[in-house]
Chains A and B, each alone.
Chain A
Amino acid sequence: MLYLGNALAALKNLLLREKENQVPFSDLFVWFQNILKKNNAAMELIADMGGKMGGEFIFDRKYLSDSVKKLQELVRSSAYDLNYITDNQYLELYGVIEDLAKKLEIELSGKMVIHGAKRIYALNEIEDGMEDLVGFKTYNLSRILNLSGVNIPDSFAVTVGGFRDYMAYNNLFEKIEGSIEECRNGQRSVESVSNSIQLMILGGEIPPELRRQILAAAERISQGKPGSCYFAIRSSGVGEDGDLSFAGLHDSFLNVQFDELLSNYKKVLASLYNQAGLEYRLRMNILSLEMAMPVLYQKMIDSRVAGVLFTLDPNRPDRPESLLSGTWGSGKVVVEGDEGVETFRISRSPPYPVVEQQTNSTPHMPGSLHTGPSEKGSDEPNAGPCLTSKEVPPIMDVGLILERYFKRPLDVEWSIDEGGQLWILQARQLHIPRQKRMEYTELKGATEGHRVLFKDRGMIAYRGIGAGPVWVVDNDHDLTHFPRGGVLVSHYAPPSLAKVIPRASAIITDVGAVTGHMATVAREFRVPTIVGTDVATRLLAANQEVTVDTERNIVYEGLIQELIRHQLLDGPSFEMTREFQLLRRLLKKIAPLSLTDPDDPGFAPKGCQTFHDVMRFVHEKAFRALVQAGKDSRSFLRRGGKRLRSRLPLDLVLIDIGGGLAEGTDKDIYVDPDQITSLPMKAIWKGLSSPDSWNTEPIPVDLKGLMSSLTRTQSAEVMGNTLPSVNLAVLGSNYVNLSLPLGYHFTAVDAAIGSSPENNNISFRFVGGVTDITRRSRRAALLATILEKAGFKVKMNGDLVIARAINLSEELMMEQLYLIGKLIGFARQLDVLLKNDEDVGYYFQKFREQAEKPVERYEGGKNGEDDSLYSG
């Protein structure tokens, strides 16, 4: 009996404790609001840091470390809040946050972590800030990999770590240091020391693991045909091609066969200590431990013609001309300066007319190149010019794209294969003698006589100078035909512009935010950008040539070569500063959002790759904890929820977490739409309740649609697996989270809107439907098109549509939400209507007509419903 009594007492204690651990519903509001506030503060910080990427601001290390510190505090304490209200359901988050924090701190400390890092990187695996790991030659190529229209041969890099492994495995560090010491104190000549060190390196053995990795990487590139695949093995020394002083001191080998890949690796390493290299290092007093040699392995292109492009003439950088040299075969002749080379002086303006042509000239390039036994065709004389007039413009196009990206005059090695495909083998800064630079960079008076079209309009999203013909983008057709080097002019700044940004020389929009999606992409591709000018589409005419100076925020008529040159030849650009590069690296670990779909299995603590992800996760789970506290409408109403009076067939429960409903509504269980004070909810409701949006007449379901609807059950995937099946809106004065499990659809909108654009964001999610997946996917495609047009960043997967908009002004955000309100009503029965693909176009047009009626646009006024229609 006593035993039973104890057991009961223990059970009672357990239950009581469980109850104690549950946060009371009313407190949940407070906690949830706190989480929202922290979320907003974090978003504001992230946007602020992103805005600093545009070059407009001067910021220092302290700004970076302070921002990271503040962000860490916000993220940590949000995770704490979430765990508090969920009874520690997400303890895993702490570890994830500390891992991210540690990575950021390592970046801030400036230490490079080589231990544990991989020894081999494919080009597309190379991240920002890895220049010291893979060398500048490889790093530059990896940076331009994503530029549109630039083809780079398959390549991989053996890192500094690989070099150190090799040296350590063969005990070379000490031996080399000893030899160099003998050289320093004059015991031995540079030549003899250089020879003996190179012999030591050549006599070493590649560590077995490194051997295996190099061969495996080469095998991947040769795609199972190692016999017919040749490689170029190039030195990619630290400092090389980034800082010109090292350029060309080291060796590269062309046409290397598969069975010589390893021996040539040693040869490239040995060239680190060739006489010229050793002399240079002794003079600069660079210690041997700081010397390192990453190596680039590049698949050889079977080239018909190859050569070098200097985007400017190093001796006459004032001329708007480039120098292009080409020869038959692999191009070794061009770089070695043999005969048979054709050199063209070409105008830098499309269509790039040839100004002058010479043959047998010898553009120099320092350093030595070795070609293997398999060099094909190089001895066979070829009659006629090696380059046709059709082949010149693509080379110039790519050269100028690269030059715009690096903001420097470049020396580009290119090759055209038998199929006519253009390849970029190397791109490095072109050395222009200091004196020439000084001579030709005088800025004074450069802009005199050029009409200012407008100035000091809008905000600078990226600093720089770009020039070209204006191309006004209004629709997909304009986007598809966007010309290389054009100045992109658009009313809005939708993320859909992203695909042409790499081709643009400058971007100007009427509307937009420096922290928006489009501006982020513009910064990624370093395109000078002004957003929010108000006047661009009005004042700029199609095809008009303009120069956009976003350093001084002026748009000039005509092409001002002096300004463009000034940018190319002037001292290092802001992108090269340590602080800027550090910010870039920090942001990579902070800003991208990969957790967008709360019902995806990856939406978990371990899926968080950035602080933004963590904040998104915390927000979503906190929201769910809040709404899970109620099971059905009644349970929400019991806890202070309100029913919205409306003629719409929508039993919507409103929960006010503060400032979402007008005062004096707390007694009544019903509220009217005009009692909603939540800014974002007002806009959604206005769209949702506008006369055309909500078609209440039953839509005829055809047989196929009906059969499908009969067999379809409401799966967890449709309903959102953990949300109650109540139409629910959680309201704050500047916040709404609306979830509508309407029949077979599930719609969710989460939005925060206020006067500060940095805090403004909308996320929209729509999934499910009554019919088969084909029709539901059609509807998803339609929604995606409408949302993209409206400036949302959209992701689609089957019948799931996720859209996001960030950082627009309050007014624009309200318009977006109004549109979403309309869309929710419109989309409800769409899948049934979309019988074939053509219907998508028809209904898209129909929705646009509806949404664009002048009276229909959101005007921030009263709600759309007529009071007399409320059914109560």
Chain B
Amino acid sequence: MKEEKMEKTTVCILDDEAIVGDRLKPELEDDGYEVEVFTDSASALARVNETCFDIFITDLKMEGVDGMGFLERVKEKCPESEVIVITGYATMETARESLIKGAYDFIAKPFRIGEIKAAVKKAKKKARRRRQA
């Protein structure tokens, strides 16, 4: 049997409400992800310039560059990454817009932990398939 040490899937969480990252980080870490958390889009973007995470989770409504802008920048810089949009202002319109702009999934806040974990898991599979292709 071939033993291959898998590298951890990396996740970047951006939400100006600290609670989202605070609670999500340990949950995803328990599932074996490597997680970084940001509460302002400027520092998250600075980090994106250094490295592409496998998966991004971003809020929509924020000071400065908002989630939609962040999504665009991420898709530009890291086309292979998957982006999951989370928002408390969920409307059909914002959902459609974010999906058109390349978001992988769209989740309304508040959400169940299981719900976002499932979305991250699916995104991970997709990212891996894409990389293998």
Contact = CB atoms under 8 A, between A and B. Distances in A.
Interface of A: 52, 56-63, 66, 443-444, 551, 553, 570-571, 574, 577-579
Given A62-B88, A443-B30, A571-B26, A57 B111 contact: yes
Contacts of A443: 30
Contacts of A578: 19
A781 B110 CA distance: 43
A579 B19 contact: yes
B116 interface: yes
A62 B15 CA distance: 12
Nearest to A456: B114
A578 B15 CA distance: 16
A58 B32 CA distance: 20
B121 to A, nearest CB: 13
Given A574-B23, A577-B22, A577-B23, A60 B88 contact: yes
Contacts of A59: 19, 109-110
A66 B88 CA distance: 10
A66 B89 CA distance: 11
Contacts of A579: 19
Given A443-B30, A570-B26, A571-B26, A57 B110 contact: yes
Nearest to A566: B30
B42 interface: no
Interface centre among A57, A444, A577 (most CB of B within 10 A): A57
B26 A58 contact: no
6 contacts: A56-B114, A57-B111, A58-B24, A59-B109, A571-B26, A577-B23
B111 A58 contact: yes
B20 to A, nearest CB: 6
Given A57-B112, A60-B20, A61-B19, 14 more contacts: A52-B110, A56-B114, A57-B110, A58-B110, A58-B111, A60-B19, A60-B88, A62-B88, A66-B88, A443-B30, A551-B113, A553-B114, A577-B23, A578-B19
Interface of B: 15, 17, 19-20, 22-24, 26, 30, 32, 88, 109-114, 116
B85 to A, nearest CB: 15
A350 to B, nearest CB: 29
A58 B88 contact: no
B113 A57 contact: yes
Contacts of B15: 60
A63 B110 contact: yes
Nearest to B25: A571
Contact of A56 (B17, B20, B113): B113
Nearest to A571: B26
Name which of B17, B20, B23, B30 has the most chain A CB atoms within 10 A of its CB. B23
Contact of B112 (A56, A62, A63, A571): A56
Contacts of B30: 443
Contact of B109 (A63, A551, A553): A63
Contacts of B22: 577
B73 to A, nearest CB: 23
A611 to B, nearest CB: 20
Given A577-B23, A578-B19, A579-B19, A60 B114 contact: no
A579 B110 CA distance: 12
Contacts of B24: 58
CB-CB nearest 5 A-B residue pairs: A59-B110, A60-B17, A57-B110, A579-B19, A62-B88
Contacts of A52: 110
B116 A58 contact: yes
B113 A60 contact: no
Contacts of A571: 26
A577 B116 CA distance: 19
A864 B114 CA distance: 45
Contacts of A60: 15, 17, 19-20, 88, 109-110
Contacts of A62: 17, 88, 109
B40 to A, nearest CB: 15
B113 A58 contact: yes
A61 B17 contact: yes
A61 B59 CA distance: 14
A57 B32 CA distance: 20
B19 A577 contact: yes
Contacts of A574: 23
